[in-house]
Structure 1
Amino acid sequence: MLADSVGTRLTVVVLTYNRADQVLDTLARLTALPDRIHLVAVDNASSDGTAERIEADFPDVELIVAPGNLGAAGRNLGVARVQTEYVAFCDDDTWWHAGSLSRAIDILDAAPRVGVLNARVVVGEPGATDETCERMRASPLAHDGLPGPALIGFMAGACVFRTSVFRQTGGYEPRLFIGGEETLVSLDVLSAGHEIVYADELVLHHHPSPLRDSAQRRKLLARNAAWVAWMRLPWREAIMTTRDAFRTLRAEASLMRGLPELLRGIAWAAARRRVIPSRVQEMRRIVRDDDLRQVVETSSRHAFRFTRDS
């Protein structure tokens, strides 16, 4: 794919919230790419002057200011402006490596079954591969005829979509806000007959922002997992995931405050229940069994070392 033609085939949507310095650095890196991409920046109603600084420093970047902090669903506003066949995503602390987006177009052009590509994320200055991507690379799923390992999920800020597939799923559910928001989209992509693939040759740089609330993220991850389970997964998994969410709230001393919201959300989710097909259930089972096998093997190795060194 020639660099000059990438902009007619692919758009990059960048999501940001109250990280003005980080997003300006990211936009500078993206605009310097030889791929000549069209950029859409979505500001989730930041209060730190992010939108004004983007507008002043990057007048050629299409800027969208959300009416409030929409979380992951802010990306939907960006995709609504996309007029290209493909759309890539990154966050305000991630950026695509030179040539990766051109290569993504080549891969998707040659693999019509693939709806989503997940890139290899390299973290910080050392550039170590993110451990999630290490697991993706070793996916136990069959991938005959696919350009890389088949997956049951993707990373929201490190992927390339067929625009039509993203729109077919409806994008990110606003009520989930943020935290595991990809899961529902992934299940709907697979249920519609598309494939999600890991592409090791696509590289995305991630310099994690220190502006994070780990405790809040753990609670949102647990809550959203329960809600998604009631929307898409078999009853047994929905009940087990709800139990896990309950335990997380208790561990974070948030049971009294978080439980009513969790239960209201379950009622909302159950009304939207559409269980995934058996093919996708089987894919999830294979991945779950492989994860369990790795946990057992790791525990056995640690036990052996402890016994040997005692």
Structure 2
Amino acid sequence: MNASFVIVNYNRKDELLITIQKTKDLISTYKDTYEIVIVDNGSTDGSAEAVAAAHPDVNLIAQKVNTGAPAWNAGFAAAKGDYFIIMDDDSHIQSGLDEALHYMEARPQIGVLALNVLTGPYTSKDWNMQEDRNIVGFIGCGAILRRETYNKIGGYPDWIFLYVNEWDVGMRCLAAGYTVQFFENCKVIHRTSALHRTNKRLTTLVNKHGMGIVYKYFGHKKTKYLLRHALNNIKQALKQFKFKEAWYVILGVREFLKFRKSIPLVPVSAEVQRQFIREFHPVKESPFEFIRKRVYKDKDRL
């Protein structure tokens, strides 16, 4: 069984070098064949030069411009493995890789396997991930994509620069007849560099792209769920007195409205849409659900 680590970096030279070394230390203990593919996303901090000097055996792809998450596609295209192990420049697998790959090998219906991300801004525990349950989204700093699945559905969407791109892959995975599942025993450490991470950009892009996915894939009650997405996120921010964040949500809605007509429409089946609704928090409940709950609570008191 062959597998390829595919890692994208942007101006995090020191973190990237740590990731490569930890990855090499990990795979030195395994019998299977692995390769490391690094896509440098137009860095200006000397990342590509540092990798070439310190790790000449790594497959280095140096892009001239930062293309965001779609840069992983260049790595997928160059990778030789049967499985693509997707990592961030500041994340690494702590243990359980062999188990995860054999788990996928025995279950050909799994297109993407979400690994157990233990640390960072998003963790598998926060997402309430559980084994033997079909999911849609996964945390992009630790996952395995089957090559066969990639050949059928493609990689990350080129219309999503950053954030929520994993949910788009998950939707296409399900639509193609594969599943997305979670594997607890393969543990990932996300060291979470603060470089290039701002709350404004995160909140704006998450809302822009989350609404974009609903717009692209929903064939039933699309407007209802677009409104639900926007209102739930604004309500959540205001509930926590995060007024700036509420404004960033509105900025994301505005950005979505600007570019929505450029998104290709690919409606999925009703079942895939229902599964997305069950999994994707901003569209799970009506923003006015609290009123219904209050009414029923008051009735119970009578």
Question: What does 1:1-310 correspond to in 2, within 5 Å?
Answer: 8-33=1-26, 34-35=29-30, 37-98=34-95, 100-123=96-119, 131-138=123-130, 148-211=132-195, 212-233=197-218, 234=220, 235-237=222-224, 239-240=226-227, 243-244=230-231, 251-252=247-248, 255=251, 259=254, 261-269=255-263, 272-287=264-279
Deviation at 1:240, TM superposition (A): 1.5
Look up the SS of the partner of 1:178 in the other structure.
Answer: coil
Deviation at 1:130, TM superposition (A): 5.4
Identity, % of aligned positions: 23
Partner of 1:3: none
Q: 1:200 to 1:237 in 2, by over 3 A?
A: farther
Look up the SS of the partner of 1:148 in the other structure.
Answer: coil
Alpha-carbon distance in 1 for matches of 2:231, 2:160: 17
Alpha-carbon distance in 1 for matches of 2:78, 2:36: 10
Deviation at 1:137, TM superposition (A): 2.9
Alpha-carbon distance in 2 for matches of 1:292, 1:263: 22
Alpha-carbon distance in 2 for matches of 1:157, 1:284: 21
Alpha-carbon distance in 2 for matches of 1:244, 1:20: 39
Which residue identity lines up with residue 90 of structure 2 in the other structure? D
Query: Which runs of 5 or more residues in structure 1 are unaligned?
Result: 1-7, 139-146, 301-310
Q: 1:136 to 1:150 in 2, by over 3 A?
A: farther
CA contact (8 A) 1:136 1:149 kept: no
Comparing 205-214 with 9-18, greater Cα deviation is found at 205-214
Which residue identity lines up with residue 232 of structure 1 in the other structure? Y
CA contact (8 A) 1:152 1:284 kept: yes
Q: 1:205 to 1:249 in 2, by over 3 A?
A: closer
CA contact (8 A) 2:118 2:124 kept: no
Alpha-carbon distance in 2 for matches of 1:222, 1:154: 17
Which residue identity lines up with residue 109 of structure 1 in the other structure? E
Query: Which runs of 5 or more residues in structure 2 are unaligned?
Result: 235-243, 295-302
Alpha-carbon distance in 2 for matches of 1:74, 1:236: 31
Look up the SS of the partner of 1:27 in the other structure.
Answer: helix
Look up the SS of the partner of 2:127 in the other structure.
Answer: helix
Q: TM-score, normalised by structure 1?
A: 0.79
